[in-house]
Structure 1
Amino acid sequence: MVDSILFNIMLVGALGIFSQWIAWRFHLPAIVVMSIIGLLVGPVFGLIHPEEVFGGLFDPFVSIAVAIILFEGSLNLDFREIKGLGRPVGRIVTIGAFLAWLLGSLSAHYVAGLSWGVAFVIGGLFIVTGPTVILPLLRQAKLKPRPAKILKWEGIIVDPLGALLAVFAFEIIKFLKVEEATSTALLIFFLGSLFATLFGFLCGRGIGWMFEKGYVPEFLKSPVVFAVVIMCFTVADEITHETGLLAVTAMGITLANMHISSIDDMRHFKENISVLLISTIFIMLTASLSVDTLLEIFHWQILAFVLLMLFVVRPLSIWLSTIGTDLSWQEKTLVGWIAPRGIVALTVASYFASVLLDAGFEDAKILMSLTFALVFATVVVHGFSIRWTAEKLGLASEGQPGVVIVGGSTFSTALSKTLTELKIPVLVTDSSWQRLITTRKAGVPFYRGEILSEQTEYHLDLTPYEYMLAATELDSYNALVCTTFVPEIGRNNLFQLSLRNDRGDDLEELVHTIGGRVAFKEGATWESLNRKVESGYVFRKTNITQQYTFDKYLDESDEEIIMLFLKKPSGSLEFFAHDSQTRAEAGDVIVSLMPPSKEFNRIREKLEKQRNGDKNGKTKDE
């Protein structure tokens, strides 16, 4: 072990991002990978001990990181998003949270053997799911919009409520058990919570007002928000412990619903920071656990408590709280099953373990073991089962990764029909009914609306689509569309048509910095592709095999053929682009656009081979 703080910061950060990469590369739940790596480098092999190395900086760093993560999550809570879901979400975060607290506390007392006081504190804490765990799972699982929105809203809103419930339970315990405690302490707690909510709201309104009036330049907007989030959390938390999370949540929701034009830039910045912080904090927390804590997890009482929380408390609280709502039984089942606990549970449990022990509750010494057992069990079980469960219940996005084609035209319609034949989900979007006329006649899925409009986010579910092709008549608009969707789709999966320099718009220099990858080959512009389709060019699907290799396919091709994309055996797509050396392998299907004469000659050659084969067969038989 190296005691250097700088070395430990480097190692923790590197391991966190490496965990994220491993999870992405092998399609694993990121939190599961981070937890395993943290345990390996911490209690198992003893390579790092973050709590010892960072000392007094450990708890403040974790607290601020959790505040930033929670703010980033709440920044996505636009009330327009839950149109039609307000009643079930409201029930789940109120009645459902209360039932989960009550049932969890009873389980902690009667099954885990905790005293009533400690049981009610930990029961309040265990209602949290939170953005640190639920958002990465939702990105991986690709659920349908309704259950995904419910889980997201519940996780972000209940996260600070769980910490507050634990504090509230502790204040009640002190009032009932400790002689010097008075009703004044309870009053201070409630006033502190009210102040935190109001302070967060005012911080959000203040920042939004300054941005709208132009008092903050663009380059300072994200740093200003970053600094105010830390200030908002710290001030509220210093006044009343654990209310800082409530303050930053109120601030994020306020900003999200002011509909500021630059909110997306802040959201993407915070999202990038949150990924780094989630990775770092999970490694730090799991690496800080002791071997004794891990061994204590296997006690039968702790295991029984975890099973009860998984299979009874959570499902029962969701089903009871959503009686009378329009949620289907499939949605209730999925939401009732998925409730992973994460960073907030671990950090707050660590705080209460010490304060409860100081208050004379000896049974609080098992809180860290109990909490980590529930966190690790829910993260692993729910991380690996969410996609499978959603598919069985019909709540997962169906089919293979799809393609969004922006811009209605003859070429877009023909390409979308070819994608449909290959059973690849496709959606053609355009703001003009006239440009969508061929698409509508072909029966291809379409959306009439401006893809860049903020309203589109709430009317159009883009979850099933992993690729986007900007294929409109305007090169600048294609570049703008691709640039806008980089954070959601990723630059590798964003494509735009070849630029047309004949109009004097010299955009070649911008291709490397904005927009998407230039699709197909040089000269495959909007005009040329539509002209070819209208003159009779056809889309041809060619299977590459061990015998008919990609090199042989290239030898038989000429300059008139435009290779469009490959379909891999896994169902993924790989578009041909200027900046890539795409090669097909055995099992791939190449889709290309070729002249009708070429297709006719191929069909004629195939028929001649079949006739010759039949003649040879007859000769042999004779």
Structure 2
Amino acid sequence: MATSDIAGIDPVLGFALVGALGVGSQWLAWRLRMPAIVLMLAAGLIVGPGLGLLNPSQDFGNLMSPLIAIAVAIILFEGGLTLNFHTLRDAAVGVRRLVFVGAPLGWAVSSAALHYVAGLSWETSAVFGGIMIVTGPTVIAPLLRQARLKSRPAKLLQWEAIVNDPVGALAAVLAFEVVIVLQTATGAGAAVQDLVLGIVVASVLGIAAGWGLVKAFTLGMVPEYMKVPVLFVLLLLVFALSDAVLHESGLLAVTLMGIYIANSDLPSYTELRRFKEHATVMLVSGVFILLAANMDRDTLLSMDWSTLAFVCVVIFVARPVSVLASLAFSGIPWKERLLVAFTGPRGVVLVAVAGLFGERLASIGIEDGTQVSTLAFALVAASVLLHGFTLQPMARWLGLVASERPGVLIVGGSPWSVALAKAFEKMELPVAIADPNHTHLRGAREAGIETFFGDILSEVAEDRLDLVRYEKIIAATDNDAYNTLVTSDLAPEFGRENVFEVRRAKESSTRHALPASLGGRKFGPDDTYDEANRRIAGGCEFRVTKLSEEFTIEDWRKTNPDAAVLADIGSAGELRLLGPEDEPRETVGMRILSVMPERKERHEATKAENGRGNGQGNGTKNAPSD
């Protein structure tokens, strides 16, 4: 337990503190572009063993263990909801090998490291080695979101983490049952029978619950407003019943339940998944803060060279050996194998399950079981810090980043879209144009711009278009209703601040007005589809201008009075799309994307106004991308 220098905190205030620290850490990580897990780890250590403000075991008492168990179950269920089999096509071979070959090999190598390096008994090493198969979906998800990896290595890491979580827990259960047999002289047959029964019950419960839920939702037996509550109650019931048969088998049950729902084409699937994602953000934050704050100060200070050696062997030997051996001759490029081999962050599940089995080992007379929690925490902290700061640089070095700079996806092919895409290319941003009408993409193909023929909301788009490359969406088809559908559907995934659409033609009409919750943000001068394309047909063009100390935003406005600003991009590549009421940032080195009359027309207009023809000179000098 954590050391507390003051009286215990009120449980309600404690929960509020955990929530504020967890969500605050995630928000701060987003602002600073840092791994969120690193900040959550630091926050938990500061308020727990550091300042003694929070002592979870003391402040929350008997609620601590079931709270973490339920949170981990929900996290794994949400992970299962993300595992749709059709997304696994190009990574299926690798995932099978990582699960069926890599997991047992990793168990053996990790157990050897625990025994020979950390000095644990074979009994404890076997149990803890099974738990170390887990690579942490709670940590992988935010790391992948930040690193923006290419599709296949990202799917390999994601699927391995989700599938191996219950596998690792069951491996620990198997090893623990064997240890009990050796310690209590209980019949081996009975132990094996209990294990098989638990796995069968967990599998049946998980799949049956998923099938029943899908059937009930599809037949309309549950009203829309009760679907999420019913899902939660069923999830908890499945976890509790399976766990009652065999400890930790509930993790397998809820994971299978999530996978079944993900692959059932449930109409409510998207809404359920998004709600679960929001809940998971809260739970991951809370559990990580609780576990970090619950560490004992003396235990942390007692970590010595053997702890460091153990962590180094696991990260740099056990993980790479098991992954590289399992993926050998798999057809996966060596760069992807190398990235996966040296990316194995551990997370919440490892610490929670390791602590549980450590206590149980100690309770049956294996004294070094008490060291399991300390070693687990050290491994989680080291792997989170290491991979949090090295995954993206390593992926960039290996050429496995989807894009160095997040780009723009334009939905709708037209002369305006093509001209805008060419301007984004001048700004060295990834850009693509998607349209369900093949003819509309002719201009984009002729201009050499990447295109996608099909509905951007289809499953084919998810498979063939690497959406992680794009940060902004601009819906600009000739169908206003479709533009609104695209931006409304993609807003939760990309963020409402990152989805834009051209103005609806009948937006000003009360009869056709839509609520603010639908559609995207206004873009540029707030033109309709027809108005935007008339600009291009009438001789307007997109231009990129770089600001400097000699040529400020005021100079630019004087030189280009008829220009409308669409976006600005900083020296580090941070892009902002602007609406009609937004102002560009006035920073030296900032590049401005605008739409304006062609150079010749601007030149003549300026000459007529002030009697001299050098008005565009400064703009030309400071617009090297033009």
Q: Distance in 2 between matches of 1:538 and 1:515?
A: 27
Q: Which residue of 2 aligns with 1:520?
A: 524
Structure 2 length-normalised TM: 0.94
User: Which string of whole-angstrom CA distances, capped at 9 and with x for unpartnered residues, describes residues 131-187 of structure 1?
Assistant: 111111111110000000000000000001111101100101111232245521321
Q: Is the Cα–Cα contact under 8 Å of residues 536 and 595 in structure 1 kept in the other structure?
A: yes
2:379 paired with 1:374: yes
Q: Which residue of 1 aligns with 2:463?
A: 458
- Counterparts of 1:591-606 in structure 2, within 5 Å, are 591-596=593-598, 597-601=600-604
- Counterparts of 1:234-253 in structure 2, within 5 Å, are 234-253=240-259
2:266 aligns to what SS in structure 1?
Answer: coil
Q: Which residue of 1 aligns with 2:505?
A: 500
Deviation at 1:284, TM superposition (A): 0.5
1:83 aligns to what SS in structure 2?
Answer: helix
Q: Which residue of 2 aligns with 1:566?
A: 568
Deviation at 1:33, TM superposition (A): 0.7
Pick closer, same or farther for the CA change 1:606–1:44 going to 2, 3 Å.
Answer: farther
1:14 aligns to what SS in structure 2?
Answer: helix
1:463 aligns to what SS in structure 2?
Answer: helix
Q: Which residue of 2 aligns with 1:620?
A: none
Q: Distance in 2 between matches of 1:46 and 1:124?
A: 33
Q: Which residue of 2 aligns with 1:542?
A: 545
2:335 paired with 1:333: no
Deviation at 1:474, TM superposition (A): 2.0
User: Which string of whole-angstrom CA distances, capped at 9 and with x for unpartnered residues, describes residues 352-374 of structure 1?
Assistant: 11111111111112111111111
Q: Distance in 1 between matches of 2:82 and 2:482?
A: 26
1:412 aligns to what SS in structure 2?
Answer: helix
Deviation at 1:458, TM superposition (A): 1.6
Runs of 5+ in structure 2 lacking a partner?
A: 1-5, 619-626
Q: Distance in 2 between matches of 1:254 and 1:394?
A: 34
Q: Distance in 2 between matches of 1:608 and 1:295?
A: 69
Deviation at 1:603, TM superposition (A): 9.6
Moved over 3 A (4+): 502-509, 555-558, 578-584, 597-611
Runs of 5+ in structure 1 lacking a partner?
A: 612-622
Say how many residue pairs are matched: 607
2:556 paired with 1:553: yes
Pick closer, same or farther for the CA change 1:553–1:356 going to 2, 3 Å.
Answer: same
Given the alignment, which residue of 174, 191, 209 partners 1:203?
209
Q: Distance in 2 between matches of 1:533 and 1:77?
A: 44
Pick closer, same or farther for the CA change 1:12–1:610 going to 2, 3 Å.
Answer: closer
2:218 paired with 1:216: no
Q: Distance in 1 between matches of 2:191 and 2:57?
A: 31
Between 1:544-553 and 1:435-444, the stretch displaced more is: 544-553
Structure 1 length-normalised TM: 0.94
What is the letter of the counterpart of residue 117 of structure 2? V
Pick closer, same or farther for the CA change 1:505–1:416 going to 2, 3 Å.
Answer: farther
User: Which string of whole-angstrom CA distances, capped at 9 and with x for unpartnered residues, describes residues 354-395 of structure 1?
Assistant: 111111111112111111111101110011100011011111
Pick closer, same or farther for the CA change 1:172–1:554 going to 2, 3 Å.
Answer: same
Q: Which residue of 2 aligns with 1:388?
A: 393
Deviation at 1:410, TM superposition (A): 0.5
Pick closer, same or farther for the CA change 1:120–1:525 going to 2, 3 Å.
Answer: same
Given the alignment, which residue of 54, 72, 97 partners 2:78?
72
Q: Which residue of 2 aligns with 1:150?
A: 156
Q: Is the Cα–Cα contact under 8 Å of residues 354 and 372 in structure 2 kept in the other structure?
A: yes
2:314 paired with 1:309: yes
What is the letter of the counterpart of residue 460 of structure 1? L
Q: Which residue of 2 aligns with 1:408?
A: 413
Q: Which residue of 2 aligns with 1:481?
A: 486
What is the letter of the counterpart of residue 268 of structure 1? R
- Counterparts of 1:265-304 in structure 2, within 5 Å, are 265-297=271-303, 299-304=304-309
Q: Which residue of 2 aligns with 1:588?
A: 590
Q: Which residue of 2 aligns with 1:264?
A: 270
Q: Which residue of 2 aligns with 1:162?
A: 168
Q: Is the Cα–Cα contact under 8 Å of residues 566 and 584 in structure 1 kept in the other structure?
A: no
Q: Distance in 2 between matches of 1:289 and 1:467?
A: 41
Deviation at 1:81, TM superposition (A): 0.7
CA RMSD of aligned residues (A): 1.9
User: Which string of whole-angstrom CA distances, capped at 9 and with x for unpartnered residues, describes residues 511-535 of structure 1?
Assistant: x22111111124x111111111112
What is the letter of the counterpart of residue 53 of structure 1? D
Q: Which residue of 1 aligns with 2:62?
A: 56
Deviation at 1:499, TM superposition (A): 2.4
Q: Is the Cα–Cα contact under 8 Å of residues 467 and 489 in structure 1 kept in the other structure?
A: yes
Deviation at 1:609, TM superposition (A): 9.2
Pick closer, same or farther for the CA change 1:602–1:467 going to 2, 3 Å.
Answer: farther
What is the letter of the counterpart of residue 572 of structure 1? E
Pick closer, same or farther for the CA change 1:353–1:600 going to 2, 3 Å.
Answer: same
Q: Is the Cα–Cα contact under 8 Å of residues 407 and 429 in structure 1 kept in the other structure?
A: yes
User: Which string of whole-angstrom CA distances, capped at 9 and with x for unpartnered residues, describes residues 13-53 of structure 1?
Assistant: 00001110111111111111100110010001101001111
Q: Is the Cα–Cα contact under 8 Å of residues 584 and 592 in structure 2 kept in the other structure?
A: no
1:485 aligns to what SS in structure 2?
Answer: helix
Between 1:225-234 and 1:330-339, the stretch displaced more is: 225-234
Deviation at 1:506, TM superposition (A): 4.6
What is the letter of the counterpart of residue 352 of structure 1? F
Q: Is the Cα–Cα contact under 8 Å of residues 603 and 616 in structure 2 kept in the other structure?
A: no
Name the % identity.
41
